[in-house]
Amino acid sequence: MRTDTKRDDVLKRELDDILAKIETALGKRPRDDARPPEETFGTDADKALDREVFNRHKHERLVIDYFDSPKAAQRWVDALGDAIKRDLLTPNGLKWDDRFAVALSVQGANLRPYEAGSTWPIERKVWVDAMQPPVYVAATLAHEYLHTTQETFISNKQAHGPEFAAGLNAMGLVGPATASIPGPKFEEWFKQHAPKPEEFE
């Protein structure tokens, strides 16, 4: 019996990828495996800062671990978005486009490898990776909200220019604009004022 070796190899790679995502979600793989390549973070100082913040949160439950119901997860991310708008965007004179819907991505759906979030201007949708600790989900959502007001998504450089970086810094996000992470100011806001996923379980 003849078999299609090329097709079998493709299927095996796809199955391996699915298994890896499931194992990561179940905590059977080190979460560090899912971190972006170090070159994403630019300077040595950026890399050190990212490592410091990541190490502070790496043992926390992932957002995906809090919810049995997609509706409960959506209620939390909607409440989180409202808090970000109220406390971080509005006071800093930053705008967002309310026509964009926000959704949590599970097992990397609708995101490229190493993406924590993505803004789809045509579909008016913001995706945020649920396989992160809550403070990282909040930081990703704040980052993506800024993208909703941009007229063009022609290039990564244009989308993450000086004006965008200034908006991130105003909210307390640090690191390079293409891979911002929660800084001390943002972490303190999240601790004191953000809705927590356990309140929506």
Give 87-122 pLDDT, tens digit per residue: 999 999 998 888 999 999 887 788 887 788 988 888
> What three-state secondary structure class fits 134?
helix
Instruction: Check whether 64 has a pLDDT greater than 80.
Output: yes
User: Do residues 23 and 78 share a domain?
Assistant: no
User: Do residues 51 and 150 share a domain?
Assistant: yes
Beta-bridge partners for 182 = 173
d(CA 102, CA 178): 20
User: Do residues 133 and 175 share a domain?
Assistant: yes
User: Do residues 101 and 135 share a domain?
Assistant: yes
| Domains in the chain, number | 2
- The reply to whether the predicted model has a pTM over 0.85 is no
| pLDDT digit string, tens, across residues 167-198 | 999 999 998 888 899 999 999 999 999 999 99
User: Do residues 73 and 7 share a domain?
Assistant: no
Range of the domain at 167: 38-200
d(CA 129, CA 144): 12
Tokens 């819907």 belong to 101
d(CA 77, CA 141): 9
User: Do residues 42 and 30 share a domain?
Assistant: no
pLDDT for residue 41? 55
User: Do residues 111 and 12 share a domain?
Assistant: no
pLDDT for residue 162? 87
User: Do residues 16 and 82 share a domain?
Assistant: no
7-16, 22-31, 88-97, 126-135: the lowest-pLDDT one: 22-31
User: Do residues 56 and 112 share a domain?
Assistant: yes
* Cβ atoms of residues 137 and 146 within 8 Å: no
